[in-house]
Amino acid sequence: MIIGIPAEIKKDEYRVALLPVGAKLLIEDGHEVLIECGAGLGSGFSDSDYTAEGARCLDGPEEIYAGADMIVKVKEPQPSEIALMRPGQIIFCYFHFAGSRELTRRCLEKKITAVAYETLTDARGRLPLLTPMSEVAGKMSIQEGAKGLEKPMMGRGILLGGVAGVKPADVLVIGGGVVGTNAARTAAGLGANVVIMDINLDRLRYLDEIMPKNVTTLYCDPHAIERYAV
Amino acid sequence: MIIGIPAEIKKDEYRVALLPVGAKLLIEDGHEVLIECGAGLGSGFSDSDYTAEGARCLDGPEEIYAGADMIVKVKEPQPSEIALMRPGQIIFCYFHFAGSRELTRRCLEKKITAVAYETLTDARGRLPLLTPMSEVAGKMSIQEGAKGLEKPMMGRGILLGGVAGVKPADVLVIGGGVVGTNAARTAAGLGANVVIMDINLDRLRYLDEIMPKNVTTLYCDPHAIERYAV
Amino acid sequence: MIIGIPAEIKKDEYRVALLPVGAKLLIEDGHEVLIECGAGLGSGFSDSDYTAEGARCLDGPEEIYAGADMIVKVKEPQPSEIALMRPGQIIFCYFHFAGSRELTRRCLEKKITAVAYETLTDARGRLPLLTPMSEVAGKMSIQEGAKGLEKPMMGRGILLGGVAGVKPADVLVIGGGVVGTNAARTAAGLGANVVIMDINLDRLRYLDEIMPKNVTTLYCDPHAIERYAV
Amino acid sequence: MIIGIPAEIKKDEYRVALLPVGAKLLIEDGHEVLIECGAGLGSGFSDSDYTAEGARCLDGPEEIYAGADMIVKVKEPQPSEIALMRPGQIIFCYFHFAGSRELTRRCLEKKITAVAYETLTDARGRLPLLTPMSEVAGKMSIQEGAKGLEKPMMGRGILLGGVAGVKPADVLVIGGGVVGTNAARTAAGLGANVVIMDINLDRLRYLDEIMPKNVTTLYCDPHAIERYAV
Amino acid sequence: MIIGIPAEIKKDEYRVALLPVGAKLLIEDGHEVLIECGAGLGSGFSDSDYTAEGARCLDGPEEIYAGADMIVKVKEPQPSEIALMRPGQIIFCYFHFAGSRELTRRCLEKKITAVAYETLTDARGRLPLLTPMSEVAGKMSIQEGAKGLEKPMMGRGILLGGVAGVKPADVLVIGGGVVGTNAARTAAGLGANVVIMDINLDRLRYLDEIMPKNVTTLYCDPHAIERYAV
Amino acid sequence: MIIGIPAEIKKDEYRVALLPVGAKLLIEDGHEVLIECGAGLGSGFSDSDYTAEGARCLDGPEEIYAGADMIVKVKEPQPSEIALMRPGQIIFCYFHFAGSRELTRRCLEKKITAVAYETLTDARGRLPLLTPMSEVAGKMSIQEGAKGLEKPMMGRGILLGGVAGVKPADVLVIGGGVVGTNAARTAAGLGANVVIMDINLDRLRYLDEIMPKNVTTLYCDPHAIERYAV
């Protein structure tokens, strides 16, 4: 199969859908990989990192879309990208169709085979392509929150971990899934007193067993929310 | 020197001032050890544990006080014990003279040489014979407090460590010395959220470095007391 | 549905079957909640905590049993309660029928629909309404055991955690289920050296991974019991 | 003594030199406290928080400087503040004279008694008024560094803690004093692999004993710097 | 059933297939146990340990094989043992047939019922009789590796844990199954910086949750291998 | 000063007394460094590592001893080395004079200025040049002990850390100084149950605060030794 990797064009998107090692593995399996010149730069990979593995670098997205059986990219297609798609072509990316009727309509019109990362499930019903995004999101949420609490950022001037003799911040995390667990662990690592709420007691029991001791689990009901979150 | 170990007679005192191994070491160093029959029973040592090390067991305290150059015991002397003391005899025990003018007066009258455990200091000014008592006191304080919180003990029905999904108890420890540190560690070990207050920031910094993460250090001032202790 | 919450009348039972937030959620879902005056006092909730959420407070159990489609309570029904039940009424509580043929016979005669908490299973065959009781039981077992070891309680005068230089107590926990795991963690938190035995090696492996390091896992067979438990 | 607390006027300085509880303690000891209206706002304290403790609020700094025997403030005096100082008045703040010959000259001309926080030493030669600043600096350094590594901040797009399956960042901390220790602990709490260098092996041994396991200590010499820091 | 336990005869094999407590349990269940004299010596059990539980000790393997319905042993049968087997006899041991066509052929000729420990699976498809061997193997691998790094063993003179101020060794573990997890934990316990690689991200996430902090998880692909393993 | 570094000639000694970075620092301070060719090979440093820093490599020890004001080496001088020493020359190494009257006599005859690493004390009376050796010794003691317990090494076939369901080994460490502390931490890291004994209760208290939980501290007296060490 010919697999095409266009450069991402959405604002503030620096990722690339395929690492050089991914190109290597696909090519070893008999596939052909076309990558747009400069597609890996935002993630620290040069064109030669890809060509060294056997991929071909092409200027601009037109030849990629024209030549590939399957397009692998990161973000949902932008209008200029949809225009390049061909009927029957497989497009593999985060689509988030539920968020845009317009995007959905256009993709249907193009008669592509759209495979949305965010909907793929594994044997146990989990979402393996969403999990790493959620891990990053959980960790970043605390990093951004810590920043937002700084006085020069118009915050309340609170340092999450406090210092000796000064109470650390209280952090409430609602939801003990992948995002919440990563947020709780990051906030606890910074020294905050963390409460993590969920309605799944089994999950809370597991979190009790593996979380650092400055994380407290709490069953989530309206009264608990009112008491700790307001 | 002839060293005498009378049995303790104060109510609820089960300790003995000398272990069999202590008798062994003293005798190896050329001393003689007289011990009252049954003195070690409350601590789990039989008379033969002492005689096996070379100590002599005597019935009743009279012969002990009559024969010994130094009496080693645990609690402050009771009236019947003071009556047996001889001028110049060394009495080594917890006296706590500050708590009883009567005891002090009688000991002075007896012209004994009183060595009070609780006042002995080491090279750094610490109180090595008080420290183990303080360690026990700190640990027991939480054990007694946990018991007192039980509903059948007329307590508020709070389990210090909570369970998954239920907030653990908040425990405030005022003072980060030996007692407070042991209390804080015990309460944290049971799963409570612990705050330990002190006016010595250096001590709080050290506690921050070695305490489990569910212990928070707090500088102690009147506002902090009002906020957390009431 | 009309849901009734009688006050518990069994000795030493201070719980209430429904929190105010539970009343709120049921009423939001269209149900009606009748609660006996004072039913929540033992758990720290006043009548007004319930009426603020829309529940009606009634004096005595008679009107509760007369008006409710479903009775939710904690302990197995006492004779005076059975007398109030009506045919077809749903009674939801810990019945423990296996422990009392008399209770079983009377409930059958009353033609109630009895739902026993302790028999409800989740999708994985576990007992979600027993687990929190087991967590509490496991933690309390060590608290009670620690108390029972105190000298004034006629115990052997052992402090579970010891102090520096003195060996902590050895605690043997037989069974690594919910009760045993909570007991082991509590004893370890107090500083004891803990051995936990089970015949399920997979469970022991998991406990090895998450337990503090002063907990040792041991496969349980008659020789192990003889060696460590006697 | 009459103690005056002017509002801080240096840019981005939100602190106040005295908490309301400090005013309370000084007044209980027989002192008088004058505070500039609004001085506590940046730290979350209203004027009434101070007057409730017995302090007097005055508009503008002029009356503070005119009436107080001792001025307690945070930052080094600004020109408009120096103009208000009176000969013999005690000024207690962070002066950092070494950083400004001009400031030093003017303070000398004013014949004030300058007490610089940053030079006060305790009995062991440490700097108790600098330590908390260093603790904050160490923790903030990692928070700022984490922010600076974000892609939208023109950073390299590295998340300090990584996620499962992705190597965390390597963080090198040069110097194992108060700043470095707090930086190392914060970076380790976020999940980074941390190396902390110092030329004091005793300090490194202590850090080895109390730091989390993702902190490695390294003796600092030119070769080590070249190898890990470049 | 009559169960026979021959002594192991393969070189460097010191184990015995049945502990005395196993004999006790089998006999309580109505079986008969024959054990070769001295079979338990290498594991620290005397013949009388077995006979005390009701087993019969026989000299040499001939009577064991002649009398037992099922032979339980550790290592794959050696030629002299195969010669003693009888058609229909159950032989329960580690066979590893895949490693020896000759062994397989002979066992087939003997018409025994061979049950290979290493192929038994539990309800979840795992290999319960291999797991403990893998645990030992993982732990021993680090112990042997540490030894092999010693200078007198012709190693590079590296101490896995380093000392304060000296970087610990880097240990790469490929595969996060039972062997790899035990190896990683042992190396981390010795103080090494450990990287554990696997292609199962779920497993790496779990290891991230339970492993000590000096273990880093890394997704395994050819580039990662090249970078860390060479 | 001219500083000479001869190659070590004692059996099984692979160390070198000066790293290349040490040569760099000495030369930057105005000294001259002479090193015997190949002296660094056993520690992984080539001659060019030294010459790159400005040191001069000389063949054989004769020119080193003839030209240097101070000889820095590792092990006590061997007879062939003593023969090369010159009166007044400073010799800096581990001498351990107490262990050899012959060595002491010869060094006196040579009228050298002998500085023994093992006797240098810091301001607090500690032995800074012995401590790292003790750290290594403590860690190696467990590594060697683990090896010695292996069955093929004629040991008892005990794995220090056990596996899930099998009790780990009991390790007794007598003395809580540098060697003992490192041994205890290593054994605990491997999973053993460790007891560490000392007669200094302050030291045991500190160890209790920083050691992993599978290390128990025990006051050392003859009875304790008899009970745990035999």
Residue in chain C nearest A227 by alpha carbon: C21
pLDDT given for residue F125 in this prediction: 86
Q: Which residues of F touch E156 (CB under 8 A)?
A: 44
Residue C229 has pLDDT above 90, yes or no: no
Torsion over CA: C139, C142, C146, C149 (sign): positive
* Nearest alpha-carbon partner for B181 in B169, B167, B198, B193: B198
Angstrom CA distances, D6 to D28, D49, D87, D107, E214, stand at: 21, 16, 18, 17, 49
Size of interface A-D (CB pairs under 8 A): 72
User: Is E77 within 8 Å of E107 (Cβ atoms)?
Assistant: yes
How many C-E residue pairs are in contact by the CB < 8 A criterion?
18
Average pLDDT value over all residues in chain D: 95
Name chain B's partners: 3 or more CB pairs within 8 A: A, C, D, F
The reported pLDDT for the residue numbered B39 is 97
Distance of alpha carbon B6 from alpha carbon A222, whole angstroms: 65
- Contact status of B41 with chain D (Cβ, < 8 Å): no
From chain A, pick out residues whose CB is under 8 angstroms from the CB of C210: 209-210
In whole angstroms, give the CA distance from residue D118 to residue B127: 34
Residue B124 has pLDDT above 90, yes or no: no
What would the DSSP string read from start to end of A61-114? HHHHHHH-SEEE-SSPPPHHHHTT--TT-EEEE---GGG-HHHHHHHHHHT-EE
Which residues have a Cβ under 8 Å from the Cβ of D169 and sit 6 or more positions away?
Answer: D149, D158, D159, D160, D161, D162, D192, D193
pLDDT above 70 as % of chain E = 100
- Of the candidates E91, E71, E89, the residue with the CA atom closest to the CA atom of residue E4: E71
pLDDT given for residue D123 in this prediction: 86
Nearest residue, CB atoms, F165 vs list C166, C212, C218: C218
Q: What is the pLDDT of residue F75?
A: 96
Nearest-Cα distance to chain E for C196, in Å, is 18
Question: How far is the alpha carbon of D71 from chain B, nearest alpha carbon, in Å?
Answer: 22
Average pLDDT value over all residues in chain A: 95
What does R_g of chain D's alpha carbons equal in angstroms? Answer: 22
**Smallest Cα distance from A128 to chain E, Å:** 9
* E165: nearest CB among D166, D168, D217: D217
Q: Please tell me the predicted confidence (pLDDT) of residue E94.
A: 95
Rg (CA), chain C: 22
SS3 C217: strand
Q: Could you tell me if B8 and B73 are in contact, meaning their C-beta atoms sit under 8 angstroms apart?
A: yes
Which residue of F lies nearest to B129 if distances are taken between CA atoms? F201
Interatomic CA distance for residues C107 and C93, integer angstroms: 13
The residue in chain F having the minimum alpha-carbon distance to the alpha carbon of residue E161 is F139
Facing C21 at nearest CB: one of A201, A210, A222: A222
Say if residue D228 is exposed, middle or buried (CB neighbours under 10 Å; 0-12, 13-18, 19+).
Answer: middle
Reduced to 3 states (helix: H, G, I; strand: E, B; else coil), residue A197 is strand
Residue-level pLDDT at C75: 96
Chain A CB contacts of B195 under 8 Å are 167
CATH superfamily ID and name for E2-119: NAD(P)-binding Rossmann-like Domain (3.40.50.720)
Q: How far is E209 from chain C, CA to nearest CA, in Å?
A: 9
Q: Which two tokens stand for residue A19?
A: 């690492």
Contacts of D13 (CB under 8 A, 6+ apart): D42, D74, D75
Of F44, F146, F152, the CB nearest to E12: F152
CA-based nearest residue in chain F for residue E149: F143
Q: Are strands B70-72 and B2-5 parallel, antiparallel or unpaired?
A: parallel
Instruction: Output the pLDDT for position B152.
Output: 87
Is B201–D131 a contact, with Cβ atoms under 8 angstroms apart? Answer: yes
Determine the pLDDT at residue E230. 66
User: CA C118, CA C130: separation in Å to the nearest integer?
Assistant: 6
Domain ranges of chain E: 2-119, 131-229
**How many Cβ atoms from other residues are within 10 Å of residue A102's Cβ?**
8
Contacts of E21 in chain C (CB under 8 A): 221-224
Q: Considering only the beta carbons, identify the residue of B168, B193, B201 that sits closest to A164.
A: B201
Cβ-based contacts under 8 A for chains B and D: 18
D209 to chain F, any CB pair closer than 8 A? The answer is: yes
Distance CA F31, CA B48 (A): 71
- Ramachandran sector of residue A150 (left: φ over 0; alpha: ψ -120 to 50; beta: rest): beta
* Alpha carbon of A201: minimum distance to chain B alpha carbons (Å): 7
- The tokens for B79 are 């009236």
Chain D: residue whose CA lies nearest to B221: D21
- Report the C-alpha dihedral over residues E8, E9, E12, E15, rounded to 10 degrees: 0
> Is D230 a residue whose pLDDT tops 80?
no
Look-up of token digits 């297939």: E17
Residues of F in contact with E135 (CB under 8 A): 163-164
Q: Which two tokens stand for residue D68?
A: 């107080």
**How many Cβ contacts (< 8 angstroms) between chains B and F?**
18
**D201 shares contact with chain F (CB less than 8 Å):** yes
**B136 pLDDT higher than 70:** yes
**Does A19 lie at the interface with D, CB-CB under 8 angstroms?**
no
What stretch of H or E contains C171? strand C170-174
Closest approach of chain D CAs to the CA of E77, in angstroms?
43
ipTM metric: 0.91
Q: Which residues of C35-64 are buried (b: 16+ CB within 10 A; e: fewer)?
A: bbeebbebeebebebbeebebbbbeebebb
Separation CA E42–CA B193 (nearest Å): 51
Question: What residues form DSSP beta bridges with E219?
Answer: E198
What does the alpha-carbon distance between residue F91 and residue F107 come to, in Å, rounded to a whole number? 10
The shortest CB-CB distance from B209 to any of D128, D132, D210 is to: D210
Name chain B contacts of C147, Cβ cutoff 8 Å.
143, 147
Superfamily classification of domain E131-229: NAD(P)-binding Rossmann-like Domain (3.40.50.720)
Per-run averaged pLDDT (10 residues), chain E, 230 residues:
97 95 97 97 96 96 97 96 96 94 95 95 90 96 96 91 94 97 97 97 96 97 87
Residue B228's pLDDT is 86
DSSP E19: -
Chains D and A physically touch (3 or more Cβ atom pairs below 8 Å): yes
User: Which chain A residue is nearest to residue E225, measuring alpha carbons?
Assistant: A21
From chain E, pick out residues whose CB is under 8 angstroms from the CB of C220. none
- What pLDDT is attached to residue A230? 66
Q: Do domains F2-119 and F131-229 have the same CATH topology?
A: yes
Task: Write E105-110 long-range contacts (CB < 8 A, 24+).
Answer: E106/E79, E106/E82, E107/E77, E107/E82, E110/E82, E110/E85, E110/E86
Residues of chain F with pLDDT under 70: 230
Q: Cα(E172)–Cα(E218) distance, rounded to whole angstroms?
A: 10
Which residue's entry shows tokens 């110097």? D175
Of E56, E29, E128, E127, nearest to C222 by C-alpha is E29
C150, C163, C186 ranked by CB distance to B161: nearest: C186
Q: Three-state SS across chain D?
A: CEEEECCCCCCCCCCCCCCHHHHHHHHHCCCEEEEECCCCHHHCCCHHHHHCCCCEEECCHHHHHHHCCEEECCCCCCHHHHCCCCCCCEEEECCCHHHCHHHHHHHHHHCCEEEEHHHCCCCCCCCCCCHHHHHHHHHHHHHHHHHHCCHHHCCCCCCCCCCCCCCCCEEEEECCCHHHHHHHHHHHHCCCEEEEEECCHHHHHHHHHHCCCCEEEEECCHHHHHHHHC
For B165, the closest chain A residue by CA position comes to A218
B230 in reach of chain F (CB within 8 A): no
Residue C228: pLDDT band with limits 50, 70, 90: confident
Helix (H, G, I), strand (E, B) or coil at F108: helix
Nearest CB partner across the interface for C190, out of B14, B163, B189: B189
Q: What is the pLDDT of residue A228?
A: 86
C224 pLDDT more than 90: yes
Residues of B in contact with F210 (CB under 8 A): 210
Please tell me the predicted confidence (pLDDT) of residue A152. Answer: 87
- Chain D: give the shortest CA distance to residue E226, in Å: 15
Residues of chain A with pLDDT under 50: none
Contacts with A221 from chain C: Cβ below 8 Å: 21-22, 25
Nearest CA to C35 out of C5, C63, C60, C65 is that of C5
Chains interfacing with A (3 or more CB pairs < 8 Å) = B, C, D, E
Q: Does D24 touch chain B (CB under 8 A)?
A: yes
**For residue B154, which amino acid is it?**
M
Alpha-carbon gap, residue B47 to B57, rounded angstroms:
7
Q: Any chain B CB within 8 A of the CB of F79? A: no
Beta bridge partners of C71: C4, C91
Name which of E201, E205, E222 is nearest A21 (Cβ-Cβ). Answer: E222
Strand order through the sheet with D193-198? D170-174, D193-198, D215-219
Do chains C and D meet with 3 or more Cβ pairs nearer than 8 Å?
A: no
The yes-or-no reply on A/C contact (3 CB pairs or more, < 8 Å) is yes
Q: Could you tell me the strand order of the sheet in which C32-36 lies?
A: C56-58, C32-36, C2-5, C70-72, C90-93, C113-116
Number of Cβ within 10 Å of residue F161's Cβ equals 26
Which residue, among E32, E94, E93, E92, has the nearest Cα to E67 in the 3D structure? E32
Q: Are A44 and A71 in contact (CB under 8 A)?
A: no
In chain F, residues with a C-beta closer than 8 Å to the C-beta of C175 are none
pLDDT tens figures, E16-52: 999 999 999 999 999 999 999 999 999 999 999 999 9
Residue C101 CB partners (closer than 8 Å, separation 6+): none
What digits encode the pLDDT tens for the residues D106-125?
A: 999 999 999 999 999 998 88
The pTM is what? 0.93
> What is the pLDDT, as a whole number, of residue F90?
97
CA dihedral C33, C34, C40, C41 (to 10 degrees): 150
